[in-house]
Amino acid sequence: MSPRPRVNKQTDVPNLRAEPTKNGKVRYRYKNVMTGRTKTVGGGNRTEAERIAKQANAIIAQKILDKEAELILSGAESGTGITWGRWCDEYMLIQQKRFELGKIKASTLKTIESRVKRVKKKFQQRKIHQLNTYDFTKYLKEDFLSRSKDGMAVMIRSTLIDICAEAISEGVLPSEKGNPAQFTKPIARQTKRSRLLLEVFKAALEWSQKNQQPFMWKAMLFALVTGQRREDIAKCRFDDIQMIEGIEYIGVIQGKTGTKVAIPLDLRLDSIGYSVRDIISLCRDRVVSRYLFHHNKSKGHCRAGDRVRTDTFSYLFADAIRSLGKSWGEFNPPTLHETRSLSGREYEKQNNKNELLALAGKPHSQIIDVQKLLGHKLESTTAIYKDSRGHDWVTVNVAES
């Protein structure tokens, strides 16, 4: 008999996870961040388990604060008795409180936790007041920059700066010495991901239509025509379509920024030949589902009609790009997120063409507000997406004599 699948899910309460049992039910396991031990709580009742977990988080947080306060008040130099590892634990409790207050999202908390776990391991037993700029600079150079991981180095440096800033604000590090991580040299990050060009997208789309489940190539089209992020595309439902002043829109609440974007169904990208309405019509198939992009057949844990996971889109898009056998030189292959940039650039070209037609008094299609479509608050952000990073050719026109 094959072992039961282990699909653990993080609940809305930090340190509490939901785990499936052999009899098909769910149990809730709480992890004590001080001891590292886990314990079943709530007896299968989620509400009770979350109540217990919240109480435990509050008690443990207070114990850690009391212990560190005792060390500080013992007469030693501020922060002398606190190790880097212990402070990282306390820093995470601060972030968890921010999450509970709604100041950061679950995805942000997860990202912070991943980075803090990495830096905590590096200086685990060192006293926090003994760490200096040299230690952090050496860490960034040896573990990231020497391995050409500039992007990760930028994120880790930012994490180190914030951990030290919290320590200063709590009196764990002396403020007069400044933030030791802040004094490290800023890292100039070079983007190595290749921009996605329209001809490459079309080739990948054609391969996907022949070799992958229908939801994938439909999602690729939707991503290009709407310019939305993969996580927002995965959540799109048929009941998100609404009528506003006689015009049909599909509403998208962007998970990253919370921006609410109402996209008209008649929005059309001429270079690909599809409108939003066309793609939604393709999504209406024989499978009953609330989601635009759903599994067409049951397989493993996925049932027909279930929503497609965000990472599934990324994996399948990567397969489609690899199938082209294209060399990317010093760049990495484009990811699904690059469809968002391609969308902005294609609409910009379409706008330029239509503006010229309008000036000539000829029939033209709609002018698209690319900044609003992408959900950017600043035009400078949209400009970054429009930048082809040197992948587009400049055409030299020769006038007839």
83: helix, strand or coil: strand
* pLDDT for res 377: 63
* pLDDT for res 389: 53
Separation of alpha carbons 61 and 91, rounded Å: 10
> Range(s) for CATH 1.10.150.130 in the chain?
85-190
Contact status, residue 211 vs residue 202, Cβ threshold 8 Å: no
Per-residue pLDDT, averaged over 89-108, amounts to: 91
> Range(s) for CATH 1.10.443.10 in the chain?
198-386
* pLDDT for res 354: 79
Where residue 189 falls among pLDDT bands split at 50, 70, 90? confident
Where residue 392 falls among pLDDT bands split at 50, 70, 90? low
Where residue 400 falls among pLDDT bands split at 50, 70, 90? very low
Separation of alpha carbons 351 and 59, rounded Å: 58
Alpha helices in 106-190 (DSSP H): 106-122, 133-143, 150-169
Counts of helices then strands in the chain (DSSP H, E): 13, 9
Reported as a single tens digit per residue, the pLDDT across 224-272 is: 999 999 999 999 999 999 998 899 999 999 888 888 889 999 999 999 9
For the annotated catalytic residues, the residue numbers are 229, 256, 337, 340, 376, 385
* pLDDT for res 9: 63
Separation of alpha carbons 351 and 369, rounded Å: 9
Question: 17-21, 134-138, 155-159: which has the minimum mean pLDDT?
Answer: 17-21
Reported as a single tens digit per residue, the pLDDT across 52-93 is: 989 988 898 888 777 666 655 544 444 456 899 999 999 999
Per-residue pLDDT, averaged over 275-303, amounts to: 92
Pick the CATH number of 198-386 from 3.90.78.10, 1.10.443.10, 3.60.110.10, 2.40.40.20: 1.10.443.10
Where residue 8 falls among pLDDT bands split at 50, 70, 90? low
Count CB atoms within 10 A of the CB of residue 381: 12
Q: Give the predicted TM-score (pTM) of the model.
A: 0.62
Q: CATH says 85-190 is which class?
A: mainly alpha
Per-residue pLDDT, averaged over 129-145, amounts to: 93
